[in-house]
């Protein structure tokens, strides 16, 4: 049994290029991303990465950014998770330093939606409202909607918001946190910033 707040964060996601050559877009994005700091496994529906939080978010952003650079309309949809009581301690690279491996700062507009699910926590609605308010303060809030909140802006600001929200919504008392994120890039329906 692990004690304290487990450092293992995971992200199960799918990258969806809306293009006939989707295989090459996916493979290209994965090849251009330095994934050496995370454990990674791909099946026929999705890919999961696990490791320290800083590396999981860094790798997720890099995959989206590299796919975006093809100019194709792509989507990235997935679930960040930490602290699940049913989780195992394996399949994770926790001996890595805090130094991120992907540092490409290219700007890229992203329109996205997210939902926070702090598990087994009677105060969970307050946590959700607090993070949505923080999005408004930081200028990345797009719109309210049923079951999610719209977050948009430059990919680096959007991912920074999500990583902070994920940190803020976990606690020693309430370890199990889930956050769904769905993002759309290079969509013909985007007006942009």
Residue 93 interacting with a second copy (CB under 8 A): no
Q: Mask: binding to a second copy, 14-43, rule CB under 8 A, as x and -? A: x-xxxxx-xx-------------------x
| H-helix or E-strand spanning residue 79 | strand 74-82
CB of 189 to a second copy, least distance (A): 5
Can you tell me which residue has the tokens 């890229």?
108
What radius of gyration do the chain's Cα atoms show? Answer: 16
**Tokens matching residue 46:** 């999705």
120: left (phi over 0), alpha (psi -120 to 50) or beta: left
Among the residue ranges 9-17, 28-36, 57-65, 160-168, the one whose residues contact a second copy (CB under 8 A):
9-17
Residue with tokens 């769904």: 180
Which segment (59-67, 99-107, 164-172, 180-188) binds a second copy by CB under 8 A?
Answer: 180-188
What region, left, alpha or beta, does residue 97 occupy, with left being phi > 0 and alpha being psi -120 to 50 degrees? beta
Q: List binding-site positions.
A: 15, 47
82 to 85, 97, 129, 152, 154: CA distances (angstroms): 9, 19, 20, 24, 26
Q: Does 153 bind a second copy (CB under 8 A)?
A: no
**148 touches a second copy (CB under 8 A):** yes
Q: Which residues contribute to the site for a second copy (CB under 8 A)?
A: 10, 12, 14, 16-20, 22-23, 43-46, 48, 50, 73, 75, 77, 79, 81, 84-88, 91, 111-113, 115, 117, 119-122, 124-125, 128-129, 143, 145-148, 150, 178, 180, 182-184, 187-190
């Amino acid at each position: 049994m692990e004690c304290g707040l487990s450092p293992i964060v995971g992200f199960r996601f799918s990258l969806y290029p809306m293009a006939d050559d989707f295989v090459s877009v996916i493979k290209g994005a994965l090849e251009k991303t330095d994934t050496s700091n995370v454990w990674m496994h791909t099946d026929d529906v999705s890919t999961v990465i696990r490791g320290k939080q800083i590396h999981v978010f860094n790798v997720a952003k890099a995959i989206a950014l590299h796919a975006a650079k093809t100019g194709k309309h792509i989507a990235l949809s997935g679930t960040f998770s930490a602290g699940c009581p049913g989780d195992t301690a394996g399949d994770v690279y926790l001996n890595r330093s805090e130094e991120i491996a992907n540092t490409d700062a290219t700007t890229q507009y992203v329109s996205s939606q997210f939902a926070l699910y702090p598990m087994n926590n009677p105060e969970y609605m307050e946590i959700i409202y607090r993070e949505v308010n923080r999005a408004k303060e930081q200028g990345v809030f797009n719109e309210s909607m049923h079951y999610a909140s719209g977050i948009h802006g430059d990919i680096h600001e959007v991912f920074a918001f999500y990583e902070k929200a994920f940190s803020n919504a976990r606690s020693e008392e309430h370890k199990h946190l889930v956050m769904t994120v769905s993002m759309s890039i290079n969509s013909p329906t985007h007006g942009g910033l």
